Chain A
Amino acid sequence: MTLSRDEAASTLRDISKTERRSSELFGYRFGAPHLFLWGAIWMVAYGAGYYRPHWTLVWPVLAIAGSIGSFLIGWRMKTGRANAFGWRFGGTFLSVVLFIGALFAIMPPHTDAQVAAFFPILVALFYLLIGVWTGGSRMIVLGLAMGALTLYGFFNLAPYFALWMAVVGGGGLILGGFWLRHA
């Protein structure tokens, strides 16, 4: 059996398509547990922000707990790829912390609601960028949905914004996790 140039090119295209699909599903499987964790954290932290606004330490404590949790999830699911990119994740996290510090120093937010809306928008941006760069269409949909829902709540549901983010933001992340896991 001999192969023509066209057959060889067509076979290479099939390989490339299958590899992209496999890689995309692998990324979803890797990302889903993080969405479950952060969805639960958002539900509790935004819920506390609405029902117990004087509990000012809820967010910092849960954010630290979530970061540790994400690290442990990543460590348990450790793969060659995760190892190779481990330092990049750490570097990205540090860069984002520095960026937010600098941004808030230059343009300090005036209200708690602005801070509460900023972080979901930032997370939505990351989902979008991950989707754009990895070809993960579900990540793009998640990013767009999260960004749109956050903006809708911020501008139209100001008195209930924290509750909106607890239910829609936190619940959305958890549902997104199921959606990725069952892709």
Chain B
Amino acid sequence: MDQPNAIIHQPVRLKIMAALRALPQGEQLEFVRLKAIVGTTEGNLGAHITTLEEAGYVAVEKDFVGKRPRTRVALTKEGRRAFEDYVSDLRAIIDATRTE
């Protein structure tokens, strides 16, 4: 395998997936914290989250805390599996070239 999952492989989406994978299963991360971890603009982050959501890799939940809107993102089971496959593929590339 030398063609990585194109949805995950994009740098911002990769960071989003990695940040969410580090949390316990089912745990959500607030949009503002995700923005701080990923280090990108709100618009860019929102667009990439939408791409991941459409792929079924993340679930987005929007609500209000008092009058303040809050967006939380979590990795879905499918997303966790896809990310683990992606990481395995990267390791396979490294192992394959090591044994050549």
Do A and B belong to a common assembly? yes
Q: Contact between B90 and A19 (Cβ–Cβ < 8 Å)?
A: no
- Could you say which residues of chain B place their CB within 8 Å of the CB of A14? 11, 14-15, 18
* Minimum distance in angstroms from B77 CB to a CB of chain A: 13
- Could you say which residues of chain A place their CB within 8 Å of the CB of B3? 1-3
- Could you say which residues of chain A place their CB within 8 Å of the CB of B98? 5
Asked if A92 lies at the interface with its beta carbon under 8 angstroms from chain B, I say no
Asked if A56 lies at the interface with its beta carbon under 8 angstroms from chain B, I say no
Interface residues on B, range: 20 to 34
Asked if A148 lies at the interface with its beta carbon under 8 angstroms from chain B, I say no
- Could you say which residues of chain B place their CB within 8 Å of the CB of A22? 18-20, 22-23, 29, 37
Tell me the number of A-to-B contacts counted with CB atoms below 8 Å. 78
Also in contact, A3 and B22, with CB within 8 A (given A18-B15, A25-B37): no
Residues in A20-57 with C-beta less than 8 Å from chain B:
20-23, 25-26, 29
Q: Contact between A79 and B15 (Cβ–Cβ < 8 Å)?
A: no
Q: What separation, in Å, do the CA atoms of A1 and B5 have in the docked complex?
A: 10
Is the contact region of chain B dominated by helix, strand, or loop, or is it mixed? Answer: helix
Q: Contact between A15 and B27 (Cβ–Cβ < 8 Å)?
A: no
Is the contact region of chain A dominated by helix, strand, or loop, or is it mixed? Answer: helix
> Which B residues form the contact surface with A (CB < 8 A)?
2-4, 6, 9, 11, 14-15, 18-27, 29, 33, 36-38, 87, 90-91, 93-94, 97-98
Residue among B14, B29, B90 with the highest chain A CB neighbour number at 10 A: B90
